[in-house]
Amino acid sequence: MTDVLFPPLSVEKPDTEGILATWFVSDGAVVAADQLIAEVQVDKVSADVAAPVAGTIHLLVAEEAVVTQGAPIARIE
């Protein structure tokens, strides 16, 4: 299993919270490595999140949820 982490977008404040803006996949979907799976936002900065590995994804965080940078947002088996 591989955790997908909320990326560090604010280097100066690594414990800053952000928002998981959009999921581009659904829970239980099969994803490819490097496939775009989500968009996150921190302090008006947005970033795309890609799957680090291929497999079945299990979403751990709902859209619009507040998440600390570096926290797991999904798990891929």
Query: Is the predicted pLDDT of residue 14 greater than 70, yes or no?
Result: no
pLDDT of residue 77: 97
pLDDT reading at 12 higher than 80: no
| Number of domains the chain is built from | 1
Residue 10's pLDDT band (cuts 50, 70, 90): low
**32-77 pLDDT, tens digit each:** 999 999 999 988 888 999 999 999 999 999 999 999 989 999 999 9
Sign of the alpha-carbon dihedral angle for 36, 63, 46, 57: negative
Range of 13's domain?
2-76
Identify the CATH number of the domain in which residue 11 sits: 2.40.50.100
- CA dist., res. 36 & res. 9, Å (int): 17
**3-state class percentages of the chain: helix first, strand second, coil last, to nearest 5:** 0, 50, 50
Nearest to 20 by CA among 58, 74, 56: 74
Selection from 3, 29, 8, 4 nearest residue 18 by Cα: 8
Q: Given this model, what pLDDT does residue 42 score?
A: 86
